[in-house]
Homo-oligomer: A and B are copies of this chain.
Amino acid sequence: MQLYLERGFEQTTVAEIAKRAGLTGRTFFRYFADKREVLFAGAGSLREHVLIALQSAPASASPMEAIAAALDAAAEALGGHRERSRQRQAVINANPELQERELIKLSSMAAGLAEGLRARGVPEPDASLAAETGIVVLRVAFERWVTETADATLPDLMRESLARLKTITAGR
């Protein structure tokens, strides 16, 4: 990622990334489908972590309570390295292809959460609405965390965003 920051994503070649990481080009492609994937290396394990948290929520939890538990797990996992997250987001925001890839990853996580809710017996459209809304809350909180200077933690901002969402959807 350091290379992307130094030269910009478009100007960085796979050969350069591999060299910096001490890999051959061939080894690089064993780990990553393309150079966009380097920035989303943690997405698979994050998704798994979040889905396990959803499954582990008490059976009595409402759909939004179960989603909140999953979001807490996401915020804990993502909230450790603010400066690194800031740099990464700056690289992504500067490149439309990376933004597309990010949206697909988030959409895949939303689909996983919706499936997890259906497995808990939540019917449609409730499962999709709760899952996709959860991802919105996470994105908005994450955006605030990387752009604002206040020192609120990501889990704090996530819970605050969820509370705001409740107030807003309640109507007035």
Instruction: Tell me the complex Cα distance, A132–B124, Å.
Output: 20
Measured between beta carbons, the chain B residues less than 8 angstroms from A143 are 128
Instruction: Tell me the complex Cα distance, A130–B171, Å.
Output: 11
Instruction: Tell me the complex Cα distance, A136–B128, Å.
Output: 9
Q: Residue-by-residue, is A25-67 near B (CB-CB < 8 Å gives 1, otherwise 0)?
A: 0000000000000000000000000000000000000111100
* A3 located at the interface, meaning its Cβ lies under 8 Å from any Cβ of chain B in the complex: no
Known: A64-B168, A65-B171, A125-B144. 18 other contacts (CB 8 A): A62-B168, A100-B100, A100-B104, A103-B103, A103-B107, A125-B140, A125-B161, A128-B143, A129-B168, A130-B168, A132-B140, A133-B133, A133-B169, A136-B136, A165-B169, A166-B170, A166-B171, A169-B170
